[in-house]
Amino acid sequence: MADQVRIGVVGAGSISVRGILPHLAQPDLADRVALAAVCDPVPGRAAAAAEKFGVEQAFTSYEELLAAGDVDAVTIASPIGLHYEQGKLALEAGKHVHFNKTMTITVAEATELIDLAAARQLRIVASPGEMLRPHHVRTRELIAEGAIGTLSWVSCGAAFGTYHENESVRGGSDVLTNIDPSWYFRKPGGGPMYDMTVYSLHTVTGILGPARRVTAMSGVRVPTRSFGDRSVETDADDNTAVLIDFGDNLFCVATGTAAGTMTGGMGGAFYGTDGTINGLLLNGEPFDFPGRNPAETQARGPLNQALLPHVTGPHREIEEQHVYEDVMQLVDWVRDGTPSIVTAEHARHVIDIIESGYRAAETGQTQDLTTTF
Ligand SMILES: NC(=O)c1ccc[n+]([C@@H]2O[C@H](COP(=O)([O-])OP(=O)(O)OC[C@H]3O[C@@H](n4cnc5c(N)ncnc54)[C@H](O)[C@@H]3O)[C@@H](O)[C@H]2O)c1
């Protein structure tokens, strides 16, 4: 077993300063993780993050981090449009990679990374690890056991609202709190499908298995957004509805919208001939699952992040526990060879649904999916 995994954090933006860095800096990880390096092109941001969280080295260039940062693995926490190129460079440099969602924008890019990692015997963990949540595993079992009869259809999705404009690290005056969210609304990689609907697509495919084909409608509904005294033109679609065929006439409606979600939210609602599972409720009543803790759910919301396997001790009090969990999936895989279920193949299939959905919307033609997991 390797001792510490030396990690480089790529991007010192919102998810890094609120989640990844505070979690990985905790002393309980000192035997397993070293915060070896952080990089960010905004002058002073990586250095400020390094000082605040005790990271060994700070760089303004990613290439420098790879060359001089002495890291075994990177967690890529930059805008989604950069993930493919940065992941490829990391694998070529012999580093294991954790990708924040989404791993890439296209299936072709994902396949290239999967092949590259296999050829070099490197590990990829590609967020979000939604099937690590015990209530999602139990939902899969309940459906298989016939708890809601014959499953008829599924709804899932998420909405931008003004979540990113209002994050705690956006409105301040220093490099760690004035982080610009504009990329979330721009191509490539912007829009609620890659950023938010991706969670529920991981859940629904984790529960139902791979899908067969998609059709969709998509466009921009809110052309201009503002944060602080600035405005951003939206050029990535912010209003998308995808119809997904899982075979045998089982369909799912997935949305990634400017505002408003259907029931089931990030997880999904499953409608059967004898009942419905909607989030944490089976026919309107809470259902049981390993570790279920109603007080915890009441206090911290329905996503049950604190039930993830590595979220213990101080990690229960730090934000973005699911991202920390996914990073630790990679750490365990690298250290002791424990393969994670948070695979690049699953991520590629979800990327296929999103990419094919956009293609269906553009062409007006239903698209066959080409991937599985
Ligand atoms: N914000 C959230 O709530 C959240 C939650 C979970 C996952 N994520 C994911 O985390 C990733 C980052 O999102 P974020 O909200 O932290 O974005 P952000 O805009 O807050 O931060 C991105 C950072 O990356 C930096 N950056 C830009 N170009 C770079 C480059 N070439 N190399 C290194 N860094 C570069 C930016 O300067 C910025 O500091 C995305 O994949 C996102 O989907 C975000």
| Tens-digit pLDDT profile for residues 94-148 | 999 999 999 999 999 999 999 999 999 999 999 999 999 999 999 999 999 999 9
Query: Is residue 158 in contact with ligand 1, taking CB distance under 6 Å?
Result: no
Query: Is residue 202 in contact with ligand 1, taking CB distance under 6 Å?
Result: no
As given in the structure block, the two tokens for residue 236 are 């990535």
Query: Is residue 117 in contact with ligand 1, taking CB distance under 6 Å?
Result: no
Amino acid identity of residue 172, one-letter, is: G
Q: 107-120 and 344-363 helices cross at what angle (nearest 10)?
A: 160
pLDDT at 149 over 80: yes
Question: Which stretches of 180-322 are assigned E, i.e. beta strand?
Answer: 213-219, 224-227, 230-233, 239-245, 251-257, 269-272, 275-278, 281-282, 285-286
Mean pLDDT value across residues 295-302: 80
Residue with tokens 């459906």: 143
- Expressed in angstroms and rounded, the spacing between residue 36 Cα and the centre of ligand 1 is 19
Query: Is residue 15 in contact with ligand 1, taking CB distance under 6 Å?
Result: yes
**Same domain? 328 vs 362:** no
User: Where residue 54 sits, what CATH number does that domain have?
Assistant: 3.40.50.720
**Same domain? 358 vs 223:** yes
Q: Could you tell me which residues come within 8 angstroms of residue 273 by beta carbon, excluding any fewer than 6 positions away?
A: 148, 149, 150, 152
**Same domain? 25 vs 142:** no
Q: Which atom of ligand 1 is nearest to the CA of 163?
A: 3
pLDDT at 306 over 90: no
Query: Is 39 inside any structural domain?
Result: yes
Query: Is residue 87 in contact with ligand 1, taking CB distance under 6 Å?
Result: no
- Expressed in angstroms and rounded, the spacing between residue 148 Cα and the centre of ligand 1 is 40
Q: What are phi and psi of 73, to 5 degrees?
A: -150, 155
Query: Is residue 12 in contact with ligand 1, taking CB distance under 6 Å?
Result: yes
d(CA 39, CA 47): 8
Cis-peptide, bond into residue 188, ω within 30° of zero: yes
Q: Which helix (H) or strand (E) holds 323?
A: helix 321-336
**Same domain? 224 vs 295:** yes
Mean pLDDT value across residues 230-244: 96
**Same domain? 283 vs 331:** no
pLDDT at 266 over 80: no
User: Where residue 237 sits, what CATH number does that domain have?
Assistant: 3.30.360.10
Query: Is 313 inside any structural domain?
Result: no
Q: Which helix (H) or strand (E) holds 35?
A: strand 33-39
d(CA 133, CA 352): 23
- Expressed in angstroms and rounded, the spacing between residue 6 Cα and the centre of ligand 1 is 20
d(CA 117, CA 126): 12
